[in-house]
């Protein structure tokens, strides 16, 4: 079976997540730049269409990106991407050990794999390619808020398509599945189910520490305000790679 993320992050992605655009990334990147720009180069892990890469580069960062979606990487290049991209899997980053000064993983590009060990493996890979003392920013969703505010079903028009989304939580509330159905005029409908492991703050902290990161700060929104378990929309970790100075 084709993994859901290979379907979801193709041409359907801009229809399903239209609000996650370049303008949003530019605002957020202004706050990220001081955290990563001096630790060169920076790797955007699961960079998608490169919206964060271009925004960070505009602020003076030297940026590389890696993503599995050939479609989104081609979009990145078409849109005049600033930085260099590689097509690859975040479970086995196609880079040598210690070549990056910093890394980011933005907009819930984590928790996609079936096992906790596979998800933790992504953090271990990021730690492998960053030098000691390097910065890493992980931008995840706040699971507690999702559990409280989730809309089970929604339907909207997106361009010349109708997008229907049905959301469900697993029995222990640890896995969020979202069935997406896109109906186009004159084309066959497409359907897939996203699967996201909803890690809580403590779980992610333990995973980051286990991957040799020290968690410096935890924020709850893109303004980098404090995290509040019940209310915050995001769960953003600012970390430092442990290890001796080279
Ligand atoms: C929610 S999007 C976010 C993209 C980007 N960080 C942003 O903020 O626009 C998640 C990204 O993860 C990528 N992705 C999913 N699974 C992946 C994998 N196994 N290896 C590399 N990239 C993957 C998708 O192709 C997609 O671009």
Output the CA torsion 226→117→2→14 (10° steps). Answer: 10
Q: Whose CA is nearest to atom 17 of ligand 1?
A: 68
Reported as a single tens digit per residue, the pLDDT across 13-27 is 888 887 778 888 999
Ligand 1 centroid distance, CA of 106 (Å): 9
Q: Which residues line ligand 1 (CB under 6 A)?
A: 5, 9, 20, 46-48, 51-52, 67-69, 72, 89-90, 106-109, 112
Ligand 1 centroid distance, CA of 212 (Å): 23
Reported as a single tens digit per residue, the pLDDT across 174-212 is 999 999 999 988 899 999 999 999 999 999 999 999 999
Reported as a single tens digit per residue, the pLDDT across 45-101 is 999 999 999 999 999 999 999 999 999 999 999 988 989 999 999 999 999 999 999
Q: Whose CA is nearest to atom 24 of ligand 1?
A: 9
CB proximity list for 34: less than 8 A, separation 6 or greater: none
Reported as a single tens digit per residue, the pLDDT across 110-140 is 999 999 999 999 999 999 999 999 999 999 9
Distance from the Cα of residue 144 to its chain's centroid:
18
Ligand 1 centroid distance, CA of 5 (Å): 8
Neighbours of 132 (CB within 10 A): 14
Question: Residue 1: pLDDT band by 50, 70, 90 thresholds?
Answer: low
Instruction: Quote the tokens at residue 159.
Output: 């361009």
The pLDDT assigned to 109 comes to 98
Using an 8 Å Cβ cutoff, are 233 and 220 in contact?
Answer: yes
Distance from the Cα of residue 232 to its chain's centroid:
17
Ligand 1 centroid distance, CA of 141 (Å): 14
The one-character DSSP state at 225 is: P
Instruction: Quote the tokens at residue 153.
Output: 């079903």
Strands (E), the chain: 42-45, 63-67, 84-87, 100-105, 130-141, 153-158, 161-169, 175-184, 190-197, 213-219, 234-241
């Amino acid at each position: 079976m084709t993994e859901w993320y290979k379907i979801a992050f193709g041409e359907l992605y801009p229809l399903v997540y239209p609000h996650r655009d370049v303008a949003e990334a530019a605002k957020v990147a202004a706050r990220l730049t001081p955290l990563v720009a001096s630790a060169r180069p920076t790797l955007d892990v699961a960079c998608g269409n490169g919206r964060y890469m271009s925004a960070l580069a505009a602020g003076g960062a030297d940026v590389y990106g890696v993503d599995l979606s050939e479609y989104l990487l081609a979009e990145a290049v078409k849109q005049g991407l600033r930085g260099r991209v590689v097509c690859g899997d975040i479970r086995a980053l196609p880079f040598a050990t210690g070549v990056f000064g910093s890394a980011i993983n933005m907009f819930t590009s984590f928790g996609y794999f079936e096992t906790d060990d596979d998800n933790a493996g992504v953090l271990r890979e990021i730690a492998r390619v960053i030098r000691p003392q390097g910065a890493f920013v992980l931008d995840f969703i706040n699971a507690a808020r999702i559990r409280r505010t989730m809309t089970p079903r929604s339907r909207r028009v997106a361009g010349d398509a109708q997008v229907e989304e049905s959301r469900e939580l697993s029995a222990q509330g640890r896995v969020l599945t979202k069935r997406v159905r896109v109906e186009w005029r004159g084309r066959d409908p497409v359907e897939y189910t996203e699967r996201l492991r909803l890690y809580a703050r403590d779980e992610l902290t333990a995973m980051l520490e286990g991957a040799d990161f020290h968690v410096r700060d935890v924020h709850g929104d893109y303004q980098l305000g404090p995290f509040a378990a019940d209310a915050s929309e995001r769960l953003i970790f600012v970390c430092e790679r442990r290890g001796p100075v080279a």
